[in-house]
Structure 1
Amino acid sequence: MSVTLRTRLLVNAAVTMICFAAVIGFTIVNMMKIQASNEDEVEALLSVQAAKAELNTLKESITSYSYTLADAQKESVRTYMKNSSDRLNALQKTMTDPAGKAAYEKLAKKYETWQTEAAAALNTKSPAEATRTAARINGLLNDIYMLNLESRSRYEQMQKQTADQIQFIVYSAAVLTIVLLAVTVLSSVRLTKKIAGPIRLMAENARQIAGGNLAVEKLDYKGKDELKELNDSFGIMTEQLRTLIKAIGEVGREVETFAEGLTKENQTLTEMTEQVSVSTEEMAKGSQTISEDLQHAVLFIEKMDEHAKANAERSKQTTASSEDTISAVAAGRSALAETKQAIDKSNETSKEISKAADLFIKHAAGISMMAQTVSDIAGQTNLLSLNAAIEAARAGEAGKGFAVVAEEIRKLADGSAKATAQIFDMVKQIEGGITSITGAVTTGVALGDRQQELMEKTSESFAHIEQKAAHIKAELSHLDGQIRESKQLGEQVLQHAESISAVVQETAAGSEEISASALEQLSSFKNMTQSVNALRSLTERLNDQVRRFTL
């Protein structure tokens, strides 16, 4: 009898423990499967985002190459093309479902075609072809987008299935636990029917314990049979159950406290991740804008460098012209000095001519006086010839010869009078001409003096011009040095701008990768929050079950 009872109890306990172990094993196995499936889907999403970021970086690199057509930029494009190929190869390993494989095959074929065309476009060094090649990446990005939608859809479906599986596991564990408890109670009740007296009391205690009352008193059984062992074992079991319930209650409270803290930390991390995602997106956009501005700035700096070269050449020409101007000013001053000497000699000559004209006027006046004397003599001679003619007429035949002489004398007097009149006219004309010459000479002397004053002012102006030209030459030399220095600084700025452009492009690519990782991390945090909430719900239910027991 005792053996049978002991065997039944052992079998009952063993079956119960095995069932509980099976429930726990069932829960653990299913949770590990869920975790493995989630890791595969997360890896697929990360691979899609990485491929998208790599293609965006490749597009930006080709766009930059279309602006510069530099060999270094072309090598950078080829490096990004290789990286993109590696990313797509890595993406293939994560595509396990038929739809994902089909989408990947479509993307791979397009990329192979594009890669061939891109290599040809790079060899042509045509900005239009480079821009067209960069635009064709949008088609690849569209396929990446569709692949991302497919992965996200699959991931969301997996999350839904995971939630359903977790719910199924929870309900199954609860049902199995309740069933096991019910089986244990029924087995105990069945055993009590076969045992009289103390067994009924122990059964009563067992019913109270099953009802949650663990504060039952131990049965005072004096026997030494299996009932004694049963009673002692029942008492020990009650105490252990009480200890187990206490431990479960403490563990439940600790789990609840831990879940609350984990929920708060998860919320904080979620907010921080959202802020990081927004910041990285803004930083990526800002980096892209800066990169484009830097590309334009590089073009402007190159144009400035060309203008600086032209200005330097013009500055040299202007400096040479200023030297020619100084030489011309010196030659002008020398010519002015010679002109001044010639004007001085001309003024002296004009003054001598004026003096000679005055002297000539005096001589002309003397000639006029002499001509007047000759005119007076001719008048007297004419009177004398007239008187002689009268006397010859009185003398008759004897005076005819004298009359002829008197007539000749009269003719000579008339000729002298006419010659004297002509002399008077000539003297007047000479006096008029001398007066004109004297006026002209006086005017020439005044003009010479004025020219001399103007020449002195002109000489002073040439000296001032020579001084200013020398100052302009010095300033142009200084300006030429400044232009050369500005040209060197412009070349340094161009080098730094190109370096900054490359760094900004790398920063933009890194920001996009960080943004994608942050979004995936945010999704993981949300999933973790859901899991923690489910854990808290289970903990509350466990605490409710523990509170049913009276210790």
Structure 2
Amino acid sequence: MRNISLRWKIVLFITTLATITYSISAIFIFIGYDYIDFMVSFSQGSYTTIIFILGIIWSGILGFLASGYITSSLKKLESAASKVAEGNLRVEVAIPRSNDEIQLLSIGFSKMVHQLRTVIYKLEQTIILTNDKVKGMSHEAGFASKQAENIAYAMQEIAGGAESSALSIQSTTERMDEVLSYSQKMQQEAVHSQNLSSKMLENLEESTTSIHHLLKGIEQLVENNNYCLQAVGSLEKKAKEIQHIVNLVGDIANQTNLLALNASIEAARAGEHGRGFSVVAEEVRGLADQSAQAVQSIGELVRNIQDDIDKTVANIAEQSKVVTNEQEVGIQTFKVVDDMTLSVKQVAESVEGITLLAKKQSDSIEQTFVQVQEVSAVSEETSASSQEIMNATKEQAKAIEAVEELAKELLEETEELTKVINTFQQ
């Protein structure tokens, strides 16, 4: 059986066991039944059942005895494996001479124990070196972690300062924007004021010209009023002369009427010889009456003319007084406008200077605003970069802390592994 594998051994054992069991059972069933039936009364079925049960029991007994031979090597191997499992690597594995799978298993297990002993020795040496390296790495990681924390704190201070600076610059930028807006508005208002001053100056010059023409017109009106007063005065004198002449003509008409009346009386006295003279006297008297009436009408007209002339003289005198006052007011207004024109010219010059200064100020503020924007952009970039560096430093610190934790865990694991290795007996 030394050259037969374990499988064939089992097959041969089962075959032999079956042959023996079935042969003996057949002998008892086919031959022994007659003898048994002669001595003890059994039915054929009961006898066969008993024989089968005895065959099974017999097979179990033989199988138990034969399995001890097969499993003895496995029990030795199991004992060695239990000792190895307990950490005893010095155990010697017994190699059976069965030349089957159990022998191969024992040889392989022996080699495994030898290799395991070698591996554990090398692992122990590696753990010692690793433990030293891990301790150094843990120390360096702790130092690097502190340095990273210091760098992170410094970068946080820098980032905070950069952020504060960026906020201040942003606030300054907003204020500069407002100042630039106000400066531009002031420049626009200055330009608008300059335009208004120029327009006002033009209007004042036009007003000066108009007032000058008005004063000339008032002077001409004063002269015309004076001339009218003189003409009306002359007309009044002539009206008085006409009145005097009318009075004289009236007196002549009255005297003519008296003479005609006397002539009529004298003609009546003359009788027939004075009749023609009486007719002439009546005609003269009629003409005298008509002349008296005409003189009376002319006198009435002259008196009316005289009244109108008096009223006209009064109106012209009042108008002359008003025109004279207006002339004085116009002269004063001309002086005021002239002074105002001079002041407006000075204001226009000042506004022009203010406009130039406002433009220069606006240009300076605009340049400053551009520079502040550039500084704000640089500050924001610096703040962002500082924030990124700070975040990266924090992440690095976390990574270093994680490495330190891993180093501690690895150190603990190596210590645990050392304890486990120490349980093995090499």
- For normalisation by structure 1, the TM-score amounts to 0.44
Give 3-state SS (helix, strand or coil) of 2:350's partner. Answer: helix
8 Å Cα contact 2:204/2:337 also seen in 1: yes
Indicate the RMSD between aligned Cα atoms, in angstroms: 4.8
8 Å Cα contact 1:304/1:490 also seen in 2: no
- Equivalent-residue separation in structure 2 for 1:525 and 1:459 (angstroms): 94
8 Å Cα contact 1:386/1:406 also seen in 2: yes
* CA offsets 1:71-125 (integer angstroms, 9 cap, x no match): xxxxxxxxxxxxxxxxxxxxxxxxxxxxxxxxxxxxxxxxxxxxxxxxxxxxxxx
* CA offsets 1:322-369 (integer angstroms, 9 cap, x no match): 445435534543443444344334323423432343343233223223
8 Å Cα contact 2:152/2:390 also seen in 1: no
- Equivalent-residue separation in structure 2 for 1:329 and 1:348 (angstroms): 28
Rate the CA distance shift 1:324–1:509 in 2: closer, same or farther, 3 A.
closer
Give 3-state SS (helix, strand or coil) of 1:467's partner. Answer: helix
Rate the CA distance shift 1:361–1:295 in 2: closer, same or farther, 3 A.
closer
Q: Does 1:396 align with 2:271?
A: yes
Structure 1 residue aligned with 2:323: 448
- Equivalent-residue separation in structure 1 for 2:324 and 2:277 (angstroms): 68
Counterpart of 1:500 (choices 358, 367, 375) is 375
Q: Does 1:25 align with 2:147?
A: no
Q: Which amino acid aligns with 2:359?
A: R
1:468 positional shift: 1.8
Rate the CA distance shift 1:283–1:345 in 2: closer, same or farther, 3 A.
closer
Structure 2 residue aligned with 1:513: 388
Q: Does 1:375 align with 2:244?
A: no
8 Å Cα contact 2:134/2:410 also seen in 1: no
* CA offsets 1:396-429 (integer angstroms, 9 cap, x no match): 3333212211110111111111111111112112
- Equivalent-residue separation in structure 2 for 1:378 and 1:295 (angstroms): 112
- Equivalent-residue separation in structure 1 for 2:217 and 2:189 (angstroms): 41
- Equivalent-residue separation in structure 1 for 2:389 and 2:310 (angstroms): 110
Aligned 1:272-351 pairs, distance under 5 A: 272=150, 275-276=153-154, 279=157, 282=160, 300=177, 304=181, 308=184, 319=194, 322-323=197-198, 325-351=200-226
Structure 1 residue aligned with 2:88: none
8 Å Cα contact 2:197/2:348 also seen in 1: yes
- Equivalent-residue separation in structure 1 for 2:186 and 2:174 (angstroms): 22
Rate the CA distance shift 1:436–1:401 in 2: closer, same or farther, 3 A.
same
Task: Name the count of aligned residue pairs.
Answer: 298
- Equivalent-residue separation in structure 2 for 1:417 and 1:536 (angstroms): 164
- Equivalent-residue separation in structure 1 for 2:189 and 2:170 (angstroms): 33
Structure 2 residue aligned with 1:491: 366
8 Å Cα contact 2:145/2:397 also seen in 1: no
Counterpart of 1:415 (choices 286, 290, 293) is 290
- Equivalent-residue separation in structure 2 for 1:284 and 1:448 (angstroms): 81
Counterpart of 2:300 (choices 415, 421, 425) is 425
- Equivalent-residue separation in structure 2 for 1:396 and 1:341 (angstroms): 79
1:533 positional shift: 8.6
Rate the CA distance shift 1:414–1:372 in 2: closer, same or farther, 3 A.
same
Q: 5+ unaligned residues in a row in structure 1: which ranges?
A: 1-18, 39-258, 538-551
Rate the CA distance shift 1:505–1:31 in 2: closer, same or farther, 3 A.
farther
Rate the CA distance shift 1:488–1:274 in 2: closer, same or farther, 3 A.
closer
8 Å Cα contact 2:221/2:323 also seen in 1: yes
Rate the CA distance shift 1:456–1:288 in 2: closer, same or farther, 3 A.
closer
8 Å Cα contact 1:301/1:494 also seen in 2: no
Give 3-state SS (helix, strand or coil) of 2:332's partner. Answer: helix
- For normalisation by structure 2, the TM-score amounts to 0.55
8 Å Cα contact 1:315/1:479 also seen in 2: yes
Structure 2 residue aligned with 1:353: 228
8 Å Cα contact 1:354/1:442 also seen in 2: yes
- Equivalent-residue separation in structure 1 for 2:278 and 2:348 (angstroms): 99
* CA offsets 1:427-459 (integer angstroms, 9 cap, x no match): 112211211221122112212211221111111
* CA offsets 1:230-266 (integer angstroms, 9 cap, x no match): xxxxxxxxxxxxxxxxxxxxxxxxxxxxx9xx98x89
Q: State the structure with bigger RCO (CA 8 A, min sep 6), 1 or 2.
A: 2
- Equivalent-residue separation in structure 1 for 2:194 and 2:162 (angstroms): 51
Counterpart of 1:465 (choices 340, 343, 355) is 340
8 Å Cα contact 1:277/1:519 also seen in 2: no
Q: Bigger radius of gyration, 1 or 2?
A: 2
* CA offsets 1:7-32 (integer angstroms, 9 cap, x no match): xxxxxxxxxxxx99964532323675
Q: 5+ unaligned residues in a row in structure 2: which ranges?
A: 1-119, 413-426
Q: Which amino acid aligns with 2:128?
A: T
- Equivalent-residue separation in structure 2 for 1:470 and 1:527 (angstroms): 82
